[in-house]
Structure 1
């Protein structure tokens, strides 16, 4: 198989991809990667040596993706797995993948489904995967995809055997991690922290990540107990220094960093995005999106109640151990890829010869 990462910045979609690349060989697959230049270097260490890495220009929002198509053709895959940010922005890469082999797309955000020709393009995919049942329903309805073509594969993460748990700072340390963009709602989080500080609640906020809104967010945080760390290479180390974790996003499918925080045994607060409320609501404090007052109230309640924080931390860890492990996510994804390639679920190496499979695929006329 060949994975495609057409992203202009590092985030949860790229972390999702690393889990699949690292596990491919163990499930019988030879995996290669075609990656856009901005994320290629960080993905390179997890590309299996037997597969290989091709670095190409970003094709998001472009009319075509000739470099992606050429790299895919050179890898001669049995199936292509396209890591999609949202339906419209990666359309050129989907077109390139379909010209080479059967393709499956993993959709991490709902986004714009109104682009002309998008429905016809997505109908040609062997399957569309997404971590969110809400996104699955909307994409199916908006694009008129056949029943069963869109499938929900819940996100998963590496669940450590040695969770760090809450750090135990005298002044509780709240953390958030993600791209510094409007999608992540850090402006709402800063407003919530401002309200808590005004009410006399002791806390410190640590925000990890980088992005185009970094300067504006730092300016908005002036005078507040907020630290911006920049890009976080060691996520486990970042989480180990926290007492509470918060997701303030406006839009998500299934925030991986929330699952990572739960796996470390941190009490968590999240906005009601994706499937968070349905899948995790019993073990995470869930608040409405874009509601600084509700977010401040939720954080303030936890910060004032150490016993409740400890209970929520235990429940978060237990949920992670029970059903948030990435192994299950990856096995489900590869089962879909195997069906698309026409090989047994154990991997391409166990099916018929590569040439017979490739000869059976017909890309669009050129």
Structure 2
């Protein structure tokens, strides 16, 4: 009989961490596991659309609550051999973690480092994290934090980079004239869309012709629309179909201030698009010279990098082809899932 794993998604909004879990659930059987899901109400519909057929229990959001009896009851009913908890940030899913650790050998996957507090708060968090049999990070910074600040033994940690669905055929640049620059994600300070708009304003002032499409929604939407006044920028709203969005642009920009290894960048590479990215998380090590990487928060450098691609169609084509090759070789969600379940096999042993 294959081992059973329950995955806990205690999230209040859909994002890259939830996409990660949907890939993991989709590929669980390929690695010999039977998966089920315990999911908070705010993101339940997203999982229902992306992984239909996975046995699922919907529970109230427990994030920031002191206790999660609904999560505990759902996990007990699923009777897993192991539990994997999606960790939005180090401290916010404590009640779900407690429920998981009371059920079966438990692992956590931390997508971004964050505030671990101080004094008694950090000691309580350290006690919680050392109760995991395994803590995975999607970037090296996340692993370093749980080892250095929370005392998890290094041998009980691992790093598995994000992966994405790699289409059999790359859409490549759409061929718009003027070229169309695309970006999408949550419209929040973390994603740096204000920096991207500042770079676009510089490009327009220099006489460049381009169109810009920004997908996503979030609390900063109104402020960003105000910043985009007078610029050739269109906001498309939430991106339900990332491949369709990417198929309609000629180059991609990621302007984030904080990330691990951002899925949107990997998806753009898999689509065969030339990409510009800030040097967040593990981007530099993961993309090599197949993406143009600029310092975090450097609006002028971002503008220069985009300008270089706008004015050189040959380089755009070369960068897009190289990005695609790397994505096919190293960034598939099937590879990510195999690496993750291999570590979870160790958890059971």
| Alignment match of 1:224 (pick from 223, 231, 255) | 231
> Which of the numbers 202, 212, 217 marks the counterpart of 1:205?
212
Match of 1:322 in 2: 329
Distance 1:208 1:34 in 2: 29
Equivalence for 1:28:
32
1:215 to 219, 222, 229: 222
Secondary structure of 1:58 counterpart: coil
Pair 1:147–1:275, CA change in 2 (3 A): same
RMSD of aligned alpha carbons:
1.3
Q: Which of 164, 168, 171 is residue 175 of structure 2 equivalent to?
A: 168
The one of 138, 152, 156 aligned to 1:131: 138
The 8 Å contact of residues 112 and 138 in structure 2, kept in 1 or not, is answered as no
1:46 CA displacement: 4.1
Do the aligned partners of 2:62 and 2:93 also contact (CA within 8 Å) in 1?
yes
Shift of 1:138: 2.6
**Shift of residue 325, structure 1, vs aligned partner:** 1.2
Provide structure 1 residue ranges, at least 5 long, that are not aligned to the other structure.
343-366
Q: Is the 8 A contact 1:84 1:108 kept in 2?
A: yes
Equivalent residue of 1:143, what SS?
coil
Q: Distance in 2 between matches of 1:277 and 1:288?
A: 10
Question: Corresponding residue for 2:94?
Answer: 91
> Partner of 2:325: helix, strand, or coil?
helix
Structure 2: how far apart are the matches of 1:97 and 1:15?
Answer: 21
Determine helix, strand or coil for the equivalent of 2:38.
strand
What do the CA deviations read for 1:63-93 (whole angstroms, capped 9, x no partner)? 2222211111111111011111111111221
Cα distance in 2 between the residues matched to 1:312 and 1:179: 26
| Selected match of 2:114 from 111, 115, 130 | 111
Could you tell me how far apart the structure 2 residues matched to 1:335 and 1:181 are?
35
Question: Using the alignment, how far apart are the partners of 1:291 and 1:97 within structure 2?
Answer: 41
Contact 1:31 1:48 in 2 (8 A): no
3-state secondary structure, aligned to 1:175: strand
Q: String of CA shifts for 1:173-197, please: whole Å, max 9, x gaps.
A: 1111111111111111111111111
Change (3 A) 1:17 1:146: same
| Alignment correspondent of 2:82 | 79
Q: Are positions 1:272 and 2:247 aligned together?
A: no
Q: Deviations over 1:272-331 (max 9, x none)?
A: 111101121311111111111111111111111111111101110111111111111101
Distance in structure 2 (CA, Å) of the matches to 1:138 and 1:119: 11
Structure 1 stretches of 4+ moved >4 Å: none
> Structure 1: how far apart are the matches of 2:305 and 2:148?
34
How many residues align structurally? 341
